[in-house]
């Protein structure tokens, strides 16, 4: 079968690979290009299955977790077919558009990040970074009841997308802390940092209230510098967030299936497998300023031209 193979940065190719062999507890999945059948999506976080975290449905906290699409040795979805453990396969309601199936994973990351803050109906939420993860966090914050949800984003194309999703935006490069707080209508009680740098954490501290919860889901750099007194003396809490738990993934899948129209702005383009190496290259070098491009290994009725 054909599969997209990553050799090293800037070098990807579509190559023939052996058919994946399902084991007794696996499913063989056809990576689809149709939105009309009964379809499934896959929770790609695989735990050991034995530890307390796995037993609690929180494989993201399993010390031996593996993530499909991250670990090169595991069959993954940039290919015509893949295998996945059957218990990780999440059926979607009949009629769910194929796009939605592939959006569930990033949407679940954003949902989990917001859940980590124990959002209430009184919370004012600032999401820093409006890429796919920030978009997902903003959608989740709105859905879980935040009174105000604002996204801070530097890139005008992404800010436009966020406006189309119905969010107010701010630009930390050109707007002061006071101006961002004016968009928020005060200080944020919850900030989701969907970038993960010293600078974005500083924005989170500067714009949030005493006692605020700051969720660090962005992973742009492995080490950050932080204004320690803004955490200690003002009692802010910093919460880590990684992927999602089983329940949150399934809940997000159900919600996404029922809100396909609301999610349409998230997808900028669809390409087939043969176009994938060039698409990755042009996204990485900035020629293509898309937010989310979906790869349809078997081709799509709208492939390519809508990029």
Ligand X SMILES: NC(=O)c1ccc[n+]([C@@H]2O[C@H](COP(=O)([O-])OP(=O)(O)OC[C@H]3O[C@@H](n4cnc5c(N)ncnc54)[C@H](O)[C@@H]3O)[C@@H](O)[C@H]2O)c1
| Residues found near ligand X in the complex (CB under 6 A) | 109, 128-134, 152-155, 158, 172, 194-196, 199-200, 217-220, 241-243
- For ligand X, the closer of residues 14 and 151 by Cβ is 151
Please state the closest distance from residue 15 (CB atom) to ligand X, in A: 26
Indicate the residue among 14 and 215 with the shorter CB distance to ligand X: 215
CA dist 132 and 220 (Å) reads 14
CB of 207 to ligand X, least distance (A): 11
Shortest Å, Cβ 195 to ligand X: 5
Quote the radius of gyration of the chain (alpha carbons, Å).
Answer: 20
Closer CB to ligand X, 40 or 217, in the complex: 217
**Which lies closer to ligand X via its Cβ, residue 153 or residue 275?**
153
3-state percent helix, strand, coil for the chain, nearest multiple of 5: 35, 25, 40
Work out how close the CB of 184 gets to ligand X at its nearest, in angstroms, rounded to a whole number. 14
In whole angstroms, the minimum distance from the beta carbon of 176 to ligand X comes to 13
Identity of the residue, 14 or 42, whose beta carbon is nearer to ligand X in the bound complex = 42
CA atoms within 13 A on the CB side of 159: 12
Q: How far is the CB of 133 from ligand X (least distance, A)?
A: 4
Question: 40 or 195: whose CB is closer to ligand X?
Answer: 195
CB-nearest residue to ligand X: 131
* Strand ranges (E), 194-268: 208-216, 237-240
Rounded-to-integer distance, Cα 148 and Cα 128, Å: 14
Of 220 and 238, CB closest to ligand X: 220
CA 181 to CA 197: how far, in whole Å? 20
The C-alpha atoms of residue 196 and residue 216 are separated, in whole angstroms, by: 7
Q: Following DSSP, what letter does each residue of 191-207 receive, concatenated? A: EEESS-SHHHHHHHHHH
Dihedral angle, C-alpha 158, 163, 167, 170, nearest 10 °: 60
Cβ-Cβ contacts under 8 Å for 304 (sequence gap 6 or more): 269, 270, 271, 272, 275
Minimum CB separation of residue 13 from ligand X in Å reads 23
- Give dist(CA 260, CA 200) in Å, integer: 31
Smallest separation, CB 172 to ligand X (Å): 5
**Cβ closest to ligand X, residue 54 vs residue 128:** 128
E-strand spans in the chain? 2-8, 11-16, 26-30, 39-42, 45-46, 66-67, 81-85, 89-92, 124-128, 148-152, 168-170, 188-193, 208-216, 237-240, 269-272, 293-296
């Amino acid at each position: 079968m054909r599969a997209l193979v990553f050799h090293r940065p800037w070098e990807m190719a579509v190559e023939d690979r052996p058919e994946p062999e399902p084991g007794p507890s696996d499913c063989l999945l056809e990576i689809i290009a149709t939105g009309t059948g009964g379809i499934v999506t896959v929770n790609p976080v695989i735990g050991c299955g034995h530890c307390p975290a796995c037993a609690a449905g929180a494989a993201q906290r399993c010390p031996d977790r593996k993530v499909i699409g991250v670990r090169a040795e595991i069959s993954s979805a940039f290919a015509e077919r893949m295998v996945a453990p059957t218990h990780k396969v999440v059926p979607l309601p009949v009629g769910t558009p194929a796009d939605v199936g592939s959006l569930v994973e990033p949407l679940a990351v954003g949902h989990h990040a917001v859940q980590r803050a124990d959002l209430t109906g009184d919370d004012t939420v600032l999401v820093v970074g409006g890429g796919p993860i920030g978009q997902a966090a903003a959608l989740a914050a709105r859905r879980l009841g935040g009174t105000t949800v604002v996204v801070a984003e530097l890139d005008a194309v992404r800010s436009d997308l966020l406006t189309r999703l119905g969010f107010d935006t701010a630009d930390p490069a050109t707007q002061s802390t006071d101006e961002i707080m004016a968009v928020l209508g005060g200080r944020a009680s919850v900030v989701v940092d969907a970038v993960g740098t010293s600078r974005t954490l500083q924005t989170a501290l500067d714009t949030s209230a005493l006692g605020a919860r700051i969720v660090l889901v962005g992973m742009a750099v492995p080490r950050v510098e932080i204004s320690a007194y803004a955490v200690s003396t003002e009692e802010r809490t910093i919460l880590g967030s990684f992927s999602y738990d089983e329940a949150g993934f399934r809940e997000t899948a159900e919600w996404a299936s029922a809100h396909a129209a609301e999610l349409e702005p998230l997808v900028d383009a669809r390409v087939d497998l043969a176009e994938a190496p060039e698409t990755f290259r042009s996204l990485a070098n900035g020629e293509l300023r898309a937010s989310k491009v979906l790869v349809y290994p078997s081709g799509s009725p709208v492939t390519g031209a809508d990029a």
